């Protein structure tokens, strides 16, 4: 597990996740177990469209053939090292799960505590958080020393059991050492110009992405990386909406179409911001559940993921875990969100009873059921 205070401590010593540093002993084995990873792996393999979430490597070579094999034969054991070696013929290997579907309420609840700490300390600096899992004893990072240009910051949670070494160069030093900005697949000769960090089991490293870096994993280890994406896209959209609105106001005397367009843009941004807040910007939102829980099952908000209710004039949005409903404003909706966010335990029947003050019974049942379907609420352990 991770104490939210450790995330705040990490934010303080890294300048809001901007400077490279390692926080030793920041979490316990309970944060992300081998059983959790096996479940995530199986969720990837359950959908043909998720093949791209999986990459396989031997030393520095990517292996599409083994990618297919791993996809068809996901682990059914918590001994991921033995399972991996059996799939790679006993050789050193690397497996990467990129933005996998988590589909694991227990882990998502633990991760939500981390995300809450990140967004509490970093404010609106980040627009999304993308999960990645690295498994194996592949030596240097299979993609070489590189620069993650599309990522804001990276938090690496090292599960071990081996120790990982991370080497970081600023851009000027890297260019002087390699002659350019391309990835370097033989970083050994330039390691003496890098700053080295040793990451052990339970450590979290903040990895800035302005410069270049490479990891070295000599012994079997598992790492969980959370890539924090900068909020530039949202800022760009809002700026574009402001410009469109200004233009529409200039043209409104003609036909008014431009004004309606900017109203639509503004409304879409408002709804999207609500969705993002409800998911703490974890990308992507989980797929909907199918079956409803037992009638007498006590349910509560999942971890720290909020249920978000927003009103604007004669319309409202109720959102949870990146999904949303557009509804007429209602005090009962606001009350339900407040109760769930305060940790109140409720059955679906109790939620329906509360919503029935403003909605028909069928509509109230549908709204309450959607919160379950979205993974916004989960059974009380």
* pLDDT (tens place) for every residue of the chain, 381 residues total: 787 788 889 989 998 888 899 999 998 878 899 999 999 999 899 888 889 889 999 876 888 888 998 999 899 888 999 999 999 888 889 999 988 888 778 888 888 888 888 887 776 556 678 889 999 998 888 888 888 766 678 899 999 999 999 999 998 999 999 988 898 988 999 999 999 999 999 999 999 878 899 999 999 999 999 988 776 555 555 566 666 666 666 665 555 555 666 677 778 778 888 888 898 888 778 888 888 998 889 999 998 899 999 998 889 999 999 999 999 999 999 999 999 999 999 999 999 999 999 999 999 999 999 999 999 999 987
Question: Rounded distance, CA 324 to CA 304, Å?
Answer: 17
CB 231 within 8 A of CB 194: no
Question: Rounded distance, CA 226 to CA 148, Å?
Answer: 13
CB 76 within 8 A of CB 111: no
Question: Rounded distance, CA 35 to CA 5, Å?
Answer: 26
């Amino acid at each position: 597990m991770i104490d939210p205070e450790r995330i705040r401590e990490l934010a303080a010593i890294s300048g809001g996740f901007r400077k490279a540093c390692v926080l030793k002993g920041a979490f316990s084995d309970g944060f992300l177990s081998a059983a959790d990873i096996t479940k995530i792996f199986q969720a990837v393999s359950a959908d043909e469209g998720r093949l791209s979430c999986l990459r396989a490597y031997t030393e520095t070579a990517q292996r599409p053939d083994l990618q297919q094999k791993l996809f068809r034969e996901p682990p059914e054991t918590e001994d991921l090292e033995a399972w991996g070696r059996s799939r790679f013929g006993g050789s050193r290997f690397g497996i990467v799960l990129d933005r996998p579907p988590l589909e694991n309420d227990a882990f998502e609840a633990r991760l939500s505590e981390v995300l809450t700490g990140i967004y509490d300390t970093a404010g609106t600096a980040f627009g999304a958080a993308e999960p990645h899992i690295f498994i194996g004893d592949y030596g240097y990072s299979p993609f070489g020393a590189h620069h993650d240009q599309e990522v804001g910051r990276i938090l690496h949670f090292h599960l071990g059991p081996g120790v990982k070494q991370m080497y970081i160069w600023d851009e000027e030093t890297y260019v002087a050492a390699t002659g350019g900005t391309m990835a370097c697949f033989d970083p050994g000769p330039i390691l003496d110009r890098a700053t080295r960090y040793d990451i052990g089991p339970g450590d979290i490293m903040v990895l800035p992405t302005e410069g270049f870096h490479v990891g070295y994993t000599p012994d079997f280890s598992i790492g969980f990386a959370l890539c924090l994406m900068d909020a530039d896209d949202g800022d760009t959209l809002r700026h574009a909406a402001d410009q469109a609105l200004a233009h529409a106001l200039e043209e409104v005397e003609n036909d008014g179409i431009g004004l309606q367009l900017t109203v639509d843009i503004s409304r879409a941004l408002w709804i999207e911001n609500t969705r993002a807040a409800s998911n703490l910007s974890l990308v992507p939102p989980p797929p909907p559940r199918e079956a409803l829980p037992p009638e007498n099952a006590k349910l509560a908000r999942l971890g720290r993921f909020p249920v978000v209710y927003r009103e604007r004039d004669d319309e409202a949005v109720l959102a949870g875990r990146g999904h949303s409903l557009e509804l007429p404003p209602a005090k009962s909706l606001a009350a339900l969100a407040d109760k769930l966010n305060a940790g109140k335990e409720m059955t679906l029947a109790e939620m329906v009873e509360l919503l029935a003050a403003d909605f028909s019974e069928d509509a109230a049942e549908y709204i309450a059921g959607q919160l379950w379907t979205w993974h916004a609420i989960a059974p009380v352990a």
